[in-house]
Amino acid sequence: MLLIGVDYHPSFQQVAFLNQDTGECGELCLNHSDGEAERFYRELQQRGISVCVGMEATGYSRWFERLLAELGFEVWIGDPAEIKTRRVKKQKTDRKDAQLLLRLMREDNFPQIWVPSPENRDLRQLVWHRHRLVQMRTRIMNQLQALAATRIDLSSTLQSPFSCRCLARGKILHCTKRTNVHPRPKNQSDAPSGK
């Protein structure tokens, strides 16, 4: 199995790897913009090597996690705070971070956290989006109801102005037509004083 510790950044990743079968190890810096990182992992899949990738949790790596899942690689996402406590020297560089992740994986001491599957993430995103739409709809309905309450006497109807009966009667429509009509004083004496 090939263990890969990845210090991930939005534009590149620093990689430290160890092939447990052959003992081969090394380091690479892979760019994302020119597709170098994607080519590297696809090549590993074509060679039929089983791969386990360990990286810190970050909000910018969704595409990378999806790529690894698509290729059938095992992905370990680590708790950044826990990984930070296991750093021996406080000097932080990308190379040392990748080496630390690889060492934690090799020693079976990687602070792995649970991460939802890509399908689960998509469902969560849809539920969140639906929730926001319902909130927007509720705000608009409340605003319309408040507007209607100022223009028509709601006490004459014991139901919501958005019920089918009220809408069928045209009360809301009639109310909205009158919203921009304001009586204007004919002369200065009719104008309200600023008191």
Residues 140 and 170 occupy one common structural domain: yes
Picking from 99, 118, 137, the residue at the C-terminal end of a domain is: 118
Confidence of residue 195 (pLDDT cuts 50, 70, 90): very low
Mean pLDDT of the chain: 83
Owning domain of residue 111: 2-118
CATH of the domain at 62: 3.30.420.140
Residue pLDDT, tens place only, 143-185: 998 888 877 655 555 456 566 665 555 555 555 554 444 555 5
Both 171 and 75 in a single domain? no
Is residue 140 located within the same domain as residue 93? no
pLDDT for 179: 47
Shared-domain flag, residues 112 and 176: no
- In this structure, are 101 and 20 located in the same domain? yes
Residue 139 sits in the same domain as residue 114: no
Contacts of residue 9, defined as CB under 8 A and 6 or more positions apart, other chains included, come to: 94
Q: HSE of 50 in the Cβ direction (CA atoms, 13 Å)?
A: 4
Q: Which helix (H) or strand (E) holds 27?
A: strand 25-31
- Three-state secondary-structure class, residue 5: strand
**More reliable by pLDDT, 89 or 166:** 89
Residue partners of 151: CB distance under 8 A and separation at least 6: 175, 178, 179
